[in-house]
Structure 1
Amino acid sequence: MKKVYLALLFTFFLLFTASAQQKQTFAIKDGNFLLDGKPFQIHSGEMHYSRIPQPYWRHRLQMMKAMGLNAVATYVFWNYHEVSPGVWDFKTGNKNLAEYIKIAQEEGLFVILRPGPYVCAEWEFGGYPWFLQNVPNMVIRGNNAAYLAATKAYFSELYNQVKDLQITKGGPIIMVQGENEFGSYVAQRKDIALADHKKYSAAVFQQLKDIGFEVPFFTSDGSWLFEGGALPGALPTANGESDIKKLKEVVNKFNNGEGPYMVAEFYPGWLDHWAEPFPTQTPEETVRQTQKYLDNQVSFNYYMVHGGTNFGFTSGANYDKEHDIQPDMTSYDYDAPISEAGWATPKYNALREILKTDKTPNVPARTPVITIPNITLTTAVDLADLKSKITPVIEDNPLTFEQLNQGDGYVWYSKKFTQPISGKLELKGLRDYAIVYVNGKKVAELNRYYKKYDCEIEVPFNATLDIVVENMGRINYGSQINDNNKGIVSPVIINGETITGDWKMYQLPMAVAPDLMSYKNTAKPNRPTLYQGSFNLTKTGDTFLDMRDWGKGIVFINGINIGRYWSVGPQQTLYLPGCWLKKGKNTIVIFEQKNETIQKVIKTILTPILEDLKPEKGQ
């Protein structure tokens, strides 16, 4: 009995000691970040849980730790968790935010939480749920009751997931961001008074405080945008600021004349759009700037240290006057130190050399990479066959995705003509990409990126006009964020005449992989087509689907949408994580929108192709 008592006492002592060792404090005081009362320099990297398969979270966090970092920053994506109005998911697969934070702590990393509600991040709608646009009187990112009620509900759900993971409760969360890059929005929306902007940002910030967050807060803006973005009670940090003197001057101006000083977004690479060159930055440039921060006691967060992938329909789009929309690629590689597939790059190795200490762990091994023998596609089905089993919505005028209560994917608009008509077809409100057919024959491709909104058309007697429209991602940055409906959002005009009456709309959200088992092979060139095949594996590993022979579409592997492809590049491969493959039988489904030739196989390769730009013909 005495031995049992002593064993229990010893166990209690170990648990008490471990608890005491884990309990830490973090504060912003006297111009410093203070960890357990001592000055602390944050060496952080941005990495988003939603862009990495859950089974790979630990490996990627270990990669960060081995690079010499002490913290990970992540946005929280509101629309990733509120899957439909009032329905929340913080537990399934990649959505398990709390688990991600716990793994970070287990790997010795602090966590910087960036909850938005707006996140930008080249993410669909900047993180907002698409259905907010259907709420009466809702003004996104504005000081109005409907919007603030929605943000409060979101913050409350989020807080319930992470409240016990703050450093004050023994967790790894050391800071929380108030709003995000709001100074940029203020500069873009000069039609709104600064005082009204400030009322909004103050209200959202107050919500974060009221629900219970008790760790220090910060804001994140370009150094010239603090006037619009800084918040009283939050440390201002400067995105992308390389000039140490300027950084300190602007922080001092908005933070009572003192630091600490931090660049919350230090860019070692840059974001990527379809149909545009892949931007890169040399390791030497990134190392040189990092050393400046180290030498001047400036904390920093690499955005991104590891970008990952915009799986499914999660990629957003930028807006500019030249293109109207700049859709973001599936790959979010970002030319980051850790590649899309989790590999150490030359940039990673160079940064590790100046960041590591004698306690920095070794770099973990790569996930195995495999090639798969050519996958035979045994089924090829015209999309019209699936459409024929869908009950259409019929209205006098085309409806938007939002009016159809659909967020992502495609809508097939169809109109039967009893009289012939010819002339210019105008779709000024196309959002975002369409292929036009008359009596089943392809007539034109219309494309918001290239500002191609019209074409010549001839519709004979008793003919059908079909317009298959794709949502390529809602705008995530800029003043156009409040103009984010998808589909056909304006009248359809032919030869100056508005076409009304009995428009049929077939919804194709592609939320799950279509089951083609009961369909016959009906595919024809220049018709939207669904392909299906299967392949067997004796071992699994990461690989890259080679999409160079394909046009435009999406790919499902074992029911998982791994993202969009588009022949314009510069991305010509799709990253296929090995953790989503299995020994034995695997299935692949491809929706090919253009289908210029009938495809028989799909290939894989060992390395990604992210810099092969091939503009559309005629553009």
Structure 2
Amino acid sequence: MGTIKNNFQLLWLILLIVVLVNGKSINKNNNNNKNEIINVTYDGRSLIINGERKLLFSGSIHYPRTSEEMWPIILKQSKDAGIDIIDTYIFWNIHQPNSPSEYYFDGNANITKFLDLCKEFDLYVNLRIGPYVCAEWTYGGFPIWLKEIPNIVYRDYNQQWMNEMSIWMEFVVKYLDNYFAPNGGPIILAQVENEYGWLEQEYGINGTEYAKWSIDFAKSLNIGIPWIMCQQNDIESAINTCNGYYCHDWISSHWEQFPNQPSFWTENWIGWFENWGQAKPKRPVQDILYSNARFIAYGGSLINYYMWFGGTNFGRTSGGPWIITSYDYDAPLDEFGQPNEPKFSLSSKFHQVLHAIESDLLNNQPPKSPTFLSQFIEVHQYGINLSFITNYGTSTTPKIIQWMNQTYTIQPWSVLIIYNNEILFDTSFIPPNTLFNNNTINNFKPINQNIIQSIFQISDFNLNSGGGGGDGDGNSVNSVSPIEQLLITKDTSDYCWYSTNVTTTSLSYNEKGNIFLTITEFYDYVHIFIDNEYQGSAFSPSLCQLQLNPINNSTTFQLQILSMTIGLENYASHMENYTRGILGSILIGSQNLTNNQWLMKSGLIGENIKIFNNDNTINWQTSPSSSSSSLIQKPLTWYKLNISLVGLPIDISSTVYALDMSSMNKGMIWVNGYSIGRYWLIEATQSICNQSAIENYSYIGEYDPSNYRIDCNKPSQSIYSVPIDWLFNNNYNNQYATIIIIEELNGNPNEIQLLSNKIIN
């Protein structure tokens, strides 16, 4: 009988036999020794590296989504898990954030250091140059200064756009010249553009011309490796690739159109991103393994996990808008760079099994069509030894089938990989006593000591005599009506003040004598103040309608609207037209204030003076009792926490840290000057979560992130990653750290907790 045994010793015995038969070791890739020149070509079956066909497993790891010191930890674990290629974008707007004449490659933007480590760990690289990246990254990776170029149309056959794209790509290729495979580097594939085929029709004939120009220009750079274009089925001179949850059914049409191109899956969406106000999406590991096995059975030869390690949207890098700071993505390596089980270990075993049978796969052509054994049961056979048996039915009842004179039991929505009549891998099989959702965030514990040594506070309104709300400095702009926010802030801040002086009239009041503010269109979020006193908040796409309460019922006052972005759009056509801030009419009652002469200012005062750099000239107010009664407890308050690091573990390979911000509301965090990102304790509002489905290993049927979530009615994110090297400010002898917080509404910083998780690998 060929039924699966719940005994991994048998599985590994079979695998050892296969390895010995093929004369290969499981850890077989010796990619990048010294400065060896690597020759990379391809045909319709696979990528060919130095004359050898390769079955490749790739993992998306974005270098700026973790700290420098975590890179080797993550890359080593990836290599040990059977990953062959690291897939990363290069993010234009972190390298040239403010102007085309500046270049930034320090800290976790140091891409050459990242590539050096990839080579050191014997990992190839797929460099996705774009320059559009999507990636749930703010503005899709575009620097905001592009908007200021007259007549520019992004991603279009537009001379201004093509000029800027050419300059950037030429710089990248020159800057990274030593890292391309023909020069002994790890980069074996490069991508131009990104998922353009999904939007191309919105640009008409110009879109078609632009797609052709993009690959022609890319190839003119002569980097000596293949170019890919994902979701681009009208370009023959680049390898067209697939993105999605399932790509096996894409292969036949791909080969029909491009018979000389291999079938690559550049994004197997291994989970999904999370928005503020949403519960956490999860994707069952059995479904991922099922989709992988079907893709390979149909003839695929490269699979990239998007994401293999997701990491964190530090600073203001999350896109959306509304995407949370965590970019965990339910990836095999969780946000903190540690195994997310059982996804990590089962994916690793899958890679090892498939690497061992690589020659059986790639030295045989995929069958032109599967053999059907019964309804929903199909077989793909490679030579006489290897078969993939798939049950794509969704009935919960297993099927008993006959194949090659053997009897097998196959679960629904699963694939059996058979070698010499024995089951090498069953995508539905979960080892006994497996813990699901076993990852770092569920195992954090508070530091068992009172680490907060002191708390200081100051209102943003008190940081200079001009106050907040846009009064008084050279950064202010006057206009009859509100100006679009990005023109004011240049995206150097989430925050933009809109202020105007109001004298109420009879039109301002309703029949009950109340004053209501209406803003007909704004993005993404507003806090409303009158003479520095908080009135209320609203967020788009809802209409802002808010009752105002002027101090002492005054008929003259300053109306101050603090507009906020929460990540810029990362996926859309014509992103050059993207606007934020106050875009509609502003009324008090029926009194229209839209043309009432407005003052606009970028950023909070604390941001503009870089209060997060812990400048000792700030006149902080001390809270010696550290009790909530001594706190300002008003909107737009800065808090400074000095915390003790004495006795805390400093082993970066086994300890991770995070802040529990459950006692706060909404704002931003800095640790020792490093921007941790936005925090917001908004509750996930989905009414149905699937915790029980996850615990019961339910995975049958096509995955949809909207139907497979956990942690409803909890904050979308309350735990915020703090890289250990940032916590200790790159000096593990440091005895304290400084946390700076801007709280937009109210909260109790006394109850902020530093969490740790001692990892046992």
1:211 aligned to which of 204, 207, 221? 221
Q: Quick one: structure 1 residues 178 and 254, their matched pair in 2 at CA, closer, same or farther if it must change by over 3 Å?
A: farther
Q: Quick one: structure 1 residues 592 and 241, their matched pair in 2 at CA, closer, same or farther if it must change by over 3 Å?
A: closer
**SS of the residue 1:334 aligns to:** coil
Q: CA deviation at 1:206?
A: 2.5
Aligned residues between the structures = 564
Name the residue aligned to 1:611.
none
Answer yes or no: is 1:425 the counterpart of 2:517.
yes
Cα deviation code 1:80-101 (max 9, x no counterpart): 1112222333531111112211
**SS of the residue 2:309 aligns to:** coil
Q: CA deviation at 1:268?
A: 1.4
**SS of the residue 1:171 aligns to:** coil
1:338 aligned to which of 333, 345, 363? 333
- State the identity %: 25
Name the residue aligned to 2:705.
none
1:250 aligned to which of 253, 258, 267? 253
AA partner of residue 727 (structure 2):
L
Q: Quick one: structure 1 residues 20 and 74, their matched pair in 2 at CA, closer, same or farther if it must change by over 3 Å?
A: closer
Q: CA deviation at 1:558?
A: 0.1
Partner Cα distance (2:155, 2:520) in 1: 26
- Whether the aligned pair in 1 keeps the contact of 2:75 and 2:121 (CA below 8 Å) is yes
AA partner of residue 411 (structure 1):
C
Q: CA deviation at 1:138?
A: 1.3
**SS of the residue 2:752 aligns to:** strand
AA partner of residue 644 (structure 2):
N
Partner Cα distance (2:118, 2:45) in 1: 27
Partner Cα distance (2:348, 2:328) in 1: 19
Q: Quick one: structure 1 residues 21 and 576, their matched pair in 2 at CA, closer, same or farther if it must change by over 3 Å?
A: closer
Name the residue aligned to 1:529.
637
Partner Cα distance (1:292, 1:253) in 2: 19
AA partner of residue 310 (structure 1):
N
Name the residue aligned to 2:100.
86
Name the residue aligned to 2:196.
182
Q: Quick one: structure 1 residues 242 and 418, their matched pair in 2 at CA, closer, same or farther if it must change by over 3 Å?
A: closer
Answer yes or no: is 1:386 the counterpart of 2:388.
no
Q: Please list, as runs of the form range in 1=range in 2, the aligned pairs for 1:590-605 lying within 5 A after superposition.
A: 590-595=741-746, 597-605=747-755
Partner Cα distance (2:522, 2:454) in 1: 32
Name the residue aligned to 1:268.
270
Name the residue aligned to 1:350.
346
554-563 or 574-583, which moves further after superposition? 574-583
Partner Cα distance (1:88, 1:241) in 2: 38
Q: Quick one: structure 1 residues 521 and 416, their matched pair in 2 at CA, closer, same or farther if it must change by over 3 Å?
A: farther
Name the residue aligned to 2:207.
197
Partner Cα distance (1:405, 1:87) in 2: 19
AA partner of residue 504 (structure 1):
L
278-287 or 586-595, which moves further after superposition? 278-287
470-479 or 111-120, which moves further after superposition? 470-479
Q: Please list, as runs of the form range in 1=range in 2, the aligned pairs for 1:234-245 lying within 5 A after superposition.
A: 234-240=238-244, 242-244=246-248
Q: CA deviation at 1:550?
A: 0.9
2:172 aligned to which of 158, 169, 172? 158
AA partner of residue 488 (structure 1):
I
- Whether the aligned pair in 2 keeps the contact of 1:74 and 1:112 (CA below 8 Å) is yes
Q: CA deviation at 1:357?
A: 6.9
Q: Quick one: structure 1 residues 387 and 594, their matched pair in 2 at CA, closer, same or farther if it must change by over 3 Å?
A: farther
AA partner of residue 342 (structure 1):
G
- Whether the aligned pair in 2 keeps the contact of 1:216 and 1:234 (CA below 8 Å) is yes
Q: CA deviation at 1:78?
A: 0.9
Cα deviation code 1:88-115 (max 9, x no counterpart): 3353111111221121011011000111
**SS of the residue 2:176 aligns to:** helix
Which ranges in structure 1 are unaligned for 5 or more consecutive residues? Answer: 1-17, 318-325, 361-365, 609-619
Partner Cα distance (1:599, 1:30) in 2: 59
Q: Please list, as runs of the form range in 1=range in 2, the aligned pairs for 1:496-515 lying within 5 A after superposition.
A: 496=590, 497-508=592-603, 510=607, 512-514=610-612, 515=614
- Whether the aligned pair in 2 keeps the contact of 1:432 and 1:487 (CA below 8 Å) is yes
Q: CA deviation at 1:20?
A: 8.3
Partner Cα distance (2:80, 2:565) in 1: 39
Partner Cα distance (2:88, 2:679) in 1: 26
**SS of the residue 1:589 aligns to:** strand
Cα deviation code 1:473-517 (max 9, x no counterpart): 110012363442232234433334133344222322637444464
Name the residue aligned to 2:559.
465
Q: Quick one: structure 1 residues 214 and 494, their matched pair in 2 at CA, closer, same or farther if it must change by over 3 Å?
A: farther
Name the residue aligned to 1:545.
659
AA partner of residue 270 (structure 2):
P
Which ranges in structure 2 are unaligned for 5 or more consecutive residues? Answer: 1-31, 357-439, 467-471, 510-514, 623-630, 683-714, 729-733
Larger radius of gyration: 2
Q: CA deviation at 1:147?
A: 1.2
**SS of the residue 1:398 aligns to:** coil
204-213 or 138-147, which moves further after superposition? 204-213
Q: CA deviation at 1:607?
A: 5.9
Q: CA deviation at 1:241?
A: 5.6
Answer yes or no: is 1:231 the counterpart of 2:235.
yes
- Whether the aligned pair in 2 keeps the contact of 1:179 and 1:204 (CA below 8 Å) is yes
Q: Quick one: structure 1 residues 500 and 521, their matched pair in 2 at CA, closer, same or farther if it must change by over 3 Å?
A: farther
Q: Please list, as runs of the form range in 1=range in 2, the aligned pairs for 1:288-367 lying within 5 A after superposition.
A: 288-298=290-300, 299-317=302-320, 326-346=321-341, 347-356=343-352
Cα deviation code 1:237-275 (max 9, x no counterpart): 11126252x2222211331x2441111101111111111
Q: Return the TM-score normalized by structure 2.
A: 0.70
Cα deviation code 1:582-608 (max 9, x no counterpart): 22121110011111x454342122369
Name the residue aligned to 2:126.
112
Q: CA deviation at 1:416?
A: 1.9
Q: CA deviation at 1:529?
A: 0.9
AA partner of residue 538 (structure 2):
L
Q: Return the TM-score normalized by structure 1.
A: 0.85
Partner Cα distance (1:19, 1:591) in 2: 48
Answer yes or no: is 1:446 the counterpart of 2:538.
yes
